[in-house]
Chains A and B, each alone.
Chain A
Amino acid sequence: MEITEVLYNLVFDYTLRTVAMGSAILGIVSGALGVFAVLRRQSLLGDSVSHTALPGIALAFLLTGSKAPLVMIIGAAVAGWIGTLFVLHIINNTPIKADGALGMILSVFFGFGLVLLTLIQKMPNSRQAGLEKFLFGQASALMVQDVVIMAILGGLSLLLVAILWKEFKMLSFDPEYAVSLGFPTRTITIILTTILVIAVVIGLQTVGVVLMSAMIVAPASAARQWTDRLGVMVVLSGLFGALAGVSGAVISSLTAKLPTGPTIVLCISAIVVISILFAPNRGLVMRAARNYMNRQRLITDAILLDLFELGIQHHDPHYAHPSSTLKVMSITRGNIERSLHNLQEHDFVQEIGEDNWALTESGVRKAAILANRMEEKS
């Protein structure tokens, strides 16, 4: 399919446009809010919230008999919120650590949700099929009204982040300092947790309970590699989330039998892998290149110093030596010849006759500087 056709469909195909917009909103909101979860080492809170939301969805349906998206979202949010408070309470009041508290609450709540789902299934003419989409996500069933609600709730959450920016920042990096300044950290924690819960529940319908956690962790983890500034990280993370959401929606719409939720997750995971490999400062490739260059410089510096030492002993700074001599003196087992040629290119050494190496004028100067520096250090 042509790229123009894809763009055309993105604008004029009702279903694709709705799904893509929903996924984009989900990506922006969960990406931006996920930053705080990841920085506060609560990455798995998203996983817990999405699972604990299930009984809320079921209860909301049991109580109201309605499957309106807002009812479902409120039910999910209340249950997710209560579950999170349980988690925080257990962490603060028992010897059980975060991992145990999260795992237990998510599995127990989810189990209870299953119980409620089977109860609903038994009800006559309940048409509970609509609830299952929350388990595994069904982006293709997104309606415009769903997207509108997602946009409103997501927009409110982002607005709250903007208003409480300073507080959230402090809580993420130095909670003790925030306490000492007299900020109501408990209240701020609860607000932050609440909007994280909202970010999770508005995505449940699109990517489902299991995969929602990835939408919290992955965009933020990718954005973290590119920047050390919180503001940039939040914006980048939202962008990555939106990019993954839209491309996942488009790719799955182009291919038969390709579920949207998992495709979005694979897209955002690809962004994570690219970021981890190629980000300019922290990226693995750049790190390896930096290490390699440092190692090379160490070897060539050592050779210059060796030649310099030999020159002093021979009372002639330009005294030439075969590479085998340098190899004996070398601290590493690196390739001496290659390093010598490298130095020759920079005009620090010259080859005098067959395999006989001497410092040039600039080589002597450079080596003298290095030797000086060594002395200063020792």
Chain B
Amino acid sequence: MTPAQIEIQLIAAVVAVACALPGVFLILRRTAMMSDAISHAILLGIVLAFLVTEDLTSPFLIVAAAMTGLLTVLLVEILHKTRLVKEDAAIGLVFPVLFSIGVILIARFAGSVHLDTDAVLLGELAFAPFNRFVVFGVDIGPRSLYLMGGILLINLAFILLFFKELKLSTFDAGLAASLGFMPWILHYGLMSLVSVTAVGAFDAVGSILVVALMIGPPSAAYLLTERLSTMLLLSALMGMVGAISGFWIAHWADISIAGSMATMIGVIFILVYLLSPGRGLLASVRRRVRQKWEFALAMLVIHLSQHEHQPEAVNECRADHLTEHIRWNAKFAQQVVRLAKHRNLIDETDGRLNLTSNGRSLAARKVVG
């Protein structure tokens, strides 16, 4: 590994964790699309600040962009409060306007400079190490590593300091308000974090990957756990795995790093969704299959117990009669009978099915409830 590669991976990991932490709360508070809106709208702030300072590295750009992020949240809230549009529509109305103004400003006033919509949307992590942070003439590392490191620390500090409050206002906003925690302050605090993180991350990875990193890992973590602290840890971990594996695949196949990371996050989500023990697709398919057989067995023993010791038992309690009475097809009926025999619920004499004591007690249990 070259030093540049190590630095890129460090930046990627830091960005991934910094995005995943506030992302967990976005997912839980059902405001995930706000990250999409914010990450697009900050373009306007960056352009405006650039037109004033004419310096792409000015810290003022970050401040202005973060303010635009908050402005987005505020405008969405105002629009939603009029009760004339729903919240999702409000999000869909606000950010395209801000983004459009940004694009038009770039086209009209900043066309010749290195500030184009591609860079904002797509980012280019590969160039991040070229932008050095120099203190008193000493090169101490890439600038975005320090920037994102600082943002990560802020996010961590906010979440650790207000963990209890965030937890309460996320899961029970009403209770939080009645206890005097002022959920709206936390809401805006959180949205400020999202804005600052999106701004910090955008020049490294572009705004779309910001969304992937903020929403993907927490969504996957949500399928694995119901504990907030575990979810935060898992999200950070999966974000890092996605970012670093994405980097290596991009390096190996010579493709867009940001795109490759987003793709890896999708792959991680799919794997988790398929394999998660509790809520995964495979687990639930297995559960459903098991339920199907359990139900069939219960049907069989109940059917047999209904007709046990009755005159019609000679006809009713035959394997081939099941197709008629319970409307199973012949193959399925055979399988159920075989399974029932295997579990020692019934035995068969001359084609007649008899309940064993096990089967009888199961039937009794099922009928009672």
Contacts and interface: CB of A to CB of B under 8 A. Distances in A.
A282 B84 contact: yes
A257 B219 CA distance: 41
A217 B92 contact: yes
Contact of A95 (B103, B250, B279): B279
Interface string A347-358: 000000000000
Contacts of A211: 96, 99-100
B157 interface: no
Interface string B186-214: 00000000000000000000001101101
A107 B86 contact: no
B323 interface: no
B99 A210 contact: yes
A104 B101 CA distance: 26
A209 to B, nearest CB: 9
Given A107-B209, A111-B258, A257-B108, A100 B93 contact: no
Nearest to B106: A259
Contact of B89 (A106, A109, A221): A221
Given A100-B27, A214-B92, A258 B263 contact: no
Contacts of B284: 93
B232 to A, nearest CB: 16
A213 B100 CA distance: 12
Given A99-B32, A214-B93, A94 B279 contact: yes
Contact of B211 (A46, A103, A118, A272): A103
Contacts of B45: none
Nearest to A212: B96
Nearest to B123: A114
A349 B269 CA distance: 75
Contacts of A224: 84-85
A138 to B, nearest CB: 12
A42 B88 contact: yes
A284 interface: yes
B96 A136 contact: no
B256 interface: yes
Contacts of B208: 51, 107, 110-111, 114
A117 B256 contact: yes
A213 B91 CA distance: 10
B82 A115 contact: no
A312 to B, nearest CB: 43
Given A99-B33, A100-B215, A108 B255 contact: no
Contacts of B263: 108, 111-112, 115
Contact of A113 (B96, B111, B215, B259): B259
Contacts of A97: 27, 30, 32
A213 to B, nearest CB: 5
Contacts of B269: 104, 108
B260 A95 contact: no
A111 B257 CA distance: 9
Nearest to B89: A43
A249 B259 CA distance: 32
A327 B283 CA distance: 73
B104 A46 contact: no
B50 interface: no
Contacts of A106: 36, 211
B97 A94 contact: no
Nearest to A51: B208
Interface in B66-96: 79, 82, 84-86, 88-89, 91-93, 96
Contacts of B108: 257-258
Which of A97, A122, A262 neighbours the largest number of chain B CB atoms within 10 Å of its CB? A262
Interface in A3-46: 38, 41-44, 46
Contact of B100 (A111, A122, A265, A282): A265
A103 B88 contact: no
Given A43-B88, A43-B91, A217-B92, A99 B223 contact: no
Contacts of A221: 85, 89, 93
Nearest to B100: A262
Contacts of A100: 26-27, 30, 32, 215, 218-219, 222
Contact of A217 (B40, B93, B107, B260): B93
Contacts of B266: 104, 108-109, 111-112
Nearest to A255: B108
A113 B121 CA distance: 13
Contacts of A157: none
Contact of B92 (A43, A90, A276): A43
Contacts of A214: 92-93, 96-97, 100
B89 A38 contact: yes
Contacts of A266: 97, 100-101, 104
A225 B89 CA distance: 13
B317 interface: no
B107 A108 contact: no
Interface in B220-269: 222-223, 250, 253-256, 258-263, 265-266, 269
B211 to A, nearest CB: 4
B35 interface: yes
A225 B84 CA distance: 7
Which of A103, A119, A220 neighbours the largest number of chain B CB atoms within 10 Å of its CB? A103
A279 to B, nearest CB: 8
A53 interface: no
B216 interface: yes
A95 B222 contact: yes
Interface string B175-194: 00000000000000000000
B30 A99 contact: yes
A102 interface: yes
A160 interface: no
16 contacts: A90-B273, A94-B222, A97-B27, A100-B218, A103-B211, A111-B212, A111-B265, A112-B263, A115-B263, A117-B256, A216-B92, A218-B92, A259-B103, A259-B104, A263-B104, A276-B79
The 10 closest A-B CB pairs, nearest first, are: A111-B262, A114-B259, A108-B266, A214-B96, A262-B100, A217-B92, A107-B212, A115-B259, A107-B211, A103-B215
